[in-house]
Amino acid sequence: MNPLSRRLNIGIAGSGQGGGGMLPVMASMPQLQLVAGADVNSLTRQRFQERYPETRVYGTVAALCADPDVEAVWVSTPNRFHCEHAVQALESGKHVVVEKPMAISLEEADRMVEAAARHGVKLIAGHTNSFELPVRAMRKVVASGQLGDLRAVHIWSYTDWMLRARTPDELDPDQGGGIPWRQGPHQIDVVRLLGGGMLRSARAMTGNWMRERPIAGYYCTYLEFENGAPATVIHNGYGYFMTAELFPWAVDRLRYTSDEIAQIRRALRTGTRDEETDKQAFRIGGSRDPNSNRPAAGSRRDWVPADLGMVLVTCERGDIRNSKDGLYVYGDEGRTEVPLAAWGGMQEHRGELEELYNAVVLGKPVYHSGEWGMATLEACLAMLESARDRREIFLKRQVPMPAEYDAELALPAAHPSPAY
Ligand SMILES: NC(=O)c1ccc[n+]([C@@H]2O[C@H](COP(=O)([O-])OP(=O)(O)OC[C@H]3O[C@@H](n4cnc5c(N)ncnc54)[C@H](O)[C@@H]3O)[C@@H](O)[C@H]2O)c1
C-alpha cells in the first residue's frame, strides 16, 4: 500500500481541555483515524461519544491500551499520570505522544524512554507551542544565518492562567500543579528549539502570590546556552496586565472578559467558585467549549500571543518577532515580513501529529524524542530547584536538535514592511 494512503489509528487518553483541543485536529487530518478515547469522567465520555459516534469509548487507559485497533495513544491526562499512562501504552505496543510536561521527574522520563526502546515503538514529547509554525519559521530564519548567530531569546507572557478553573491535583505542586510545571515546559522547549537545544544552566525565582491558589503563578527564569547566549522566560498568570493587550486583534481571543475576571477574583476570595462546573464548561461539549465552533482546520488565523507569550529573538545583525500574519524580520536593510497566514492553520497543533505519522508510517526520525523532552523537563526541574535554593543549577541531560529538523519546511518569500 502507498504509505501516504495508510491511515494511522489513534486513541486519546484524557479528553479534558488540552486533549479536547486536539480532537478536531486529529479528526481533520486525512493521515489519521480517531478510533477511541478513554476518560474517567462519565459526562466527558458521553459528550465525546456524541461528537465522535464512530469511536469506542473507555473508562480507563488500560482498556484503551488493550484495544488492538489503536496504534498510537495521545496522552493528555493530568501531569501526575503522564508516565503511568505513557508506559502502559508503550508496553502495549502503542506509539505515544505525551503532553507537556513529559513527566514530573527525570526517573519517570527515563522509564518512558526505556519502555519505548524496549518495545520498539515511538515516543514523542508533545510540547505543543514549539511545534507551531511561527516558532518553526523563526528557527528557520535563525538557521539560515541571514542575521548572523543567535545571541538571545526572550519569551514573556502575562495571562489569566491562575484564574482558570482547576481540579485539586492542579493546585498541588507535588502532582505537577502550578505555572512552572504547566507553562514552563512550553517556553523552555521553544527556547531550546530556537537556540539548538543545549542549555548550560538555569537561575530562576517563582512567585506564589495568591492566597486562594496554593501554587506558583509566576516565574522569571534566566537560562544560558552552552555557547553563552542568554534566554529569559517569564510567565505571570495572575491576569492583571495581559500580553494580548499589546496586540489589539488578540484581545477578542482571550478566554475571559475583564468583567468575568473581576467576578472570578471575587468568587475565589469568597470561596464561592464552583471549579468543577466552571472547568467542565470549557471541556468537550460544555457551554464554553472553544472547539464546538472552531474555525475549520487550515483556515486563516491571526497569530496571537496565547499562553506562550511574546517571543523576541535577537541575532548578531537583527531581530525576529511575531507579526499578525507571520514574522517580522529586522535586519540591516530594515524590516521585512515573512507571511505565514497563507499557510493557514498557524496554530492548529498539527505538528506533533505530523511528526508521529511521519515517524510511524513513513519511517522518518522522531525529533522531539523522549530524550529531547527529558532535556526540557530537566530545565523545568532546574527552574524549580533554583527558585527554591536561590542558586544557579547546571544541566547535564541536554541534547541538540538535529540540524536537518524541518529541512522540508520552505519559508514563503519575505516582503518589505517598514517598521516606522
Ligand atoms: N499542549 C497544550 O496546549 C495543553 C493545553 C492544556 C492542557 N495540556 C495538558 O493536558 C493535560 C491535562 O490538562 P487539562 O487542562 O486538559 O485538564 P483536564 O482536567 O481538563 O483534563 C484531564 C482529563 O483527564 C481525565 N482523567 C483524569 N484522570 C484520568 C485517568 N486516570 N484516566 C483517564 N482519564 C483521566 C479527566 O477526567 C479529564 O477529562 C495536562 O498535562 C496539561 O499540561 C496541554
The secondary structure of 396-418 as a DSSP string is ----PPPTTTTTT-PPPPPEE--
Q: What's residue 299's pLDDT?
A: 65
Half-sphere exposure of 354 (CA within 13 A, CB side): 12
Sheet architecture: strand order including 150-158: 393-394, 199-207, 218-225, 230-236, 150-158, 310-315, 318-322, 326-331, 334-339, 415-416
Other beta carbons within 10 angstroms of residue 95's beta carbon come to 24
Q: Which residue of 77, 183, 235 sits with most ligand 1 atoms within 8 Å of its CB, as the best mutation to test the pocket? A: 77
Residue 252 has pLDDT above 90, yes or no: no
User: Coil, helix or strand for 158?
Assistant: strand
Half-sphere exposure of 285 (CA within 13 A, CB side): 13
Measured torsion, CA atoms of residues 404, 410, 414, 420, in degrees rounded to the nearest 10: -50
Q: What's residue 144's pLDDT?
A: 96
Q: What's residue 301's pLDDT?
A: 80
Report the C-alpha gap between 295 and 123 in whole angstroms: 30
Across the range 147-156, mean pLDDT stands at 98
Which residue's alpha carbon is nearest to atom 5 within ligand 1? 18
Across the range 87-92, mean pLDDT stands at 98
Bridging pattern class, strands 310-315 and 230-236: unpaired
Q: What's residue 5's pLDDT?
A: 78
Beta strand spans in 188-258 (E): 199-207, 218-225, 230-236
Across the range 97-124, mean pLDDT stands at 98
Q: What's residue 223's pLDDT?
A: 98
Residue 293 has pLDDT above 90, yes or no: no
Q: How far is the CA of 80 from the centre of ligand 1 (A)?
A: 10
Q: How far is the CA of 251 from the centre of ligand 1 (A)?
A: 26
Q: What's residue 218's pLDDT?
A: 98
DSSP assignment letter at 236? E
Percentage of residues in the chain with pLDDT exceeding 70? 96
The secondary structure of 362-393 as a DSSP string is T-PPPSS-HHHHHHHHHHHHHHHHHHHHTS-E
Q: How far is the CA of 245 from the centre of ligand 1 (A)?
A: 28
Report the C-alpha gap between 133 and 151 in whole angstroms: 22
User: Can you read off the three cell numbers belonging to residue 328?
Assistant: 517580522
Question: Residue with C-alpha cell 519505548?
Answer: 116
CA 86, chain centre distance (Å): 17
Q: What's residue 297's pLDDT?
A: 59
Half-sphere exposure of 200 (CA within 13 A, CB side): 8
Residue 118 has pLDDT above 90, yes or no: yes
Report the C-alpha gap between 375 and 192 in whole angstroms: 9
CA 75, chain centre distance (Å): 13
pLDDT tens profile 308-353: 999 999 999 999 999 999 999 999 999 999 999 766 656 678 999 9
Instruction: State phi, psi for 82 to the nearest 5 degrees.
Output: -60, -45
Q: How far is the CA of 52 from the centre of ligand 1 (A)?
A: 19
Across the range 32-39, mean pLDDT stands at 98
pLDDT tens profile 342-395: 666 566 789 999 999 999 999 999 999 999 999 999 999 999 999 999 999 999
Do 194 and 142 form a contact (C-beta atoms < 8 A)?
Answer: yes
User: Can you read off the three cell numbers belonging to residue 141?
Assistant: 530564519
Write out residues with Cβ below 6 Å of ligand 1.
13-19, 38-41, 44, 61, 76-79, 81, 99-100, 128, 167, 182, 283
Report the C-alpha gap between 38 and 14 in whole angstroms: 6
Which of 90, 100, 102, 137 lies closest to 397 in space, CA to CA? 102
Q: Which residue of 15, 17, 84, 100 sits with most ligand 1 atoms within 8 Å of its CB, as the best mutation to test the pocket? A: 17
Residue 149 has pLDDT above 70, yes or no: yes
Q: What's residue 195's pLDDT?
A: 98
pLDDT tens profile 200-237: 999 999 999 999 999 999 999 999 999 999 999 999 99
Which of 119, 248, 263, 207 lies closest to 387 in space, CA to CA? 207
Amino acid at 133: L
Residue 296 has pLDDT above 70, yes or no: no
Percentage of residues in the chain with pLDDT exceeding 90? 92
Residue 403 has pLDDT above 80, yes or no: yes
pLDDT band at 18 (very low <50, low <70, confident <90, very high): very high
Q: How far is the CA of 298 from the centre of ligand 1 (A)?
A: 25
Which residues, 6+ apart, have CB-to-CB distance to 364 below 8 Å?
358
User: Coil, helix or strand for 231?
Assistant: strand
pLDDT band at 294 (very low <50, low <70, confident <90, very high): low
Q: What's residue 298's pLDDT?
A: 58
CA 15 to each of CA 54, 59, 91, 348: distance values in angstroms, whole numbers, following the listed order:
16, 11, 22, 17
Report the C-alpha gap between 224 and 230 in whole angstroms: 5
- Tell me the Ramachandran region of residue 300: left when phi exceeds 0, alpha when psi lies from -120 to 50, beta otherwise: beta
Residue 117 has pLDDT above 90, yes or no: yes
Lowest mean pLDDT among 1-10, 94-103, 321-330: 1-10
Report the C-alpha gap between 107 and 362 in whole angstroms: 31
User: Can you read off the three cell numbers belonging to residue 41?
Assistant: 469522567
CA 162, chain centre distance (Å): 17
User: Can you read off the three cell numbers belonging to residue 253?
Assistant: 481571543
User: Can you read off the three cell numbers belonging to residue 201?
Assistant: 544552566
Across the range 125-152, mean pLDDT stands at 96
Which of 398, 410, 325, 367 lies closest to 131 in space, CA to CA? 367
Stated pTM of the model: 0.97
Residue 295 has pLDDT above 70, yes or no: no
Q: What's residue 85's pLDDT?
A: 98
Amino acid at 352: E
